Amino acid sequence: MTLKRIRMVNPRRLIFIHGLAGNSHGIKATLLRSVFPGLLTPDFSGSLDERMAYLESLLGAERDWTIIGSSLGGLMAALFARQHTRQVSRLILLAPALIWPDFSQPPLAPIDIPTIIYHGSQDELVPPHEVEQIAKQIFTHLEFHLVDDDHGLYKTVQALDWHALLDVSTESQS
């Protein structure tokens, strides 16, 4: 399925959610902050419930969020979108842990938010084909990219044209 064109991303409503062992100073967070200086890159710790409570407190009731999530952060982004559909305009998920029981158990209600997933074909932590099956059941506007990379997706993240991916012009960043 092809991702439909939507309005440009609000550069003030961008957040990156790191994975289980990541933090706001990791490679992906640092790279994304260099591309989008206003990007939120909070540190998350604790259980999934604690992390989700913190995410909800950060995003509040504001709308038009673009959420970029990696691994467990991708799961968190999808969970937030599932629970707060009207607040999220786009998801970019990097090797998302959608196989987590809190997310992958039926019933899986569809999420009508444009979603792009990048998953490494050599991922040994989160099986890409299982994630693809779950994602195709849930996201009604999905682009799924199986790339030659591992779970970290470091090659892929550095090679992506983030401005084009998010439809953000460099002028809107100032």
Residues 12 and 135: their CA atoms lie apart, in Å, by 27
Instruction: Please give the torsion angle defined by the CA atoms of residues 72, 61, 8 and 147, in that order, rounded to the nearest 10 degrees.
Output: 10
Residue 33 lies in a domain: yes
Residue range(s) defining the domain that contains residue 112: 15-169
Domain tally, the chain: 1
Q: Name the helix (H) or strand (E) containing 101.
A: helix 101-104
pLDDT tens digit sequence for 41-96: 999 999 999 999 999 999 999 999 999 999 999 999 999 999 999 999 999 999 99
pLDDT at res. 150: 97
CATH number of the domain bearing residue 125: 3.40.50.1820
Q: Quick check: 11 pLDDT over 80? A: no
Residue 131 lies in a domain: yes
Residue 1 lies in a domain: no
How are beta strands 115-120 and 88-94 bridged, if at all? parallel
pTM: 0.89
Q: Are 154 and 16 in contact (CB under 8 A)?
A: no
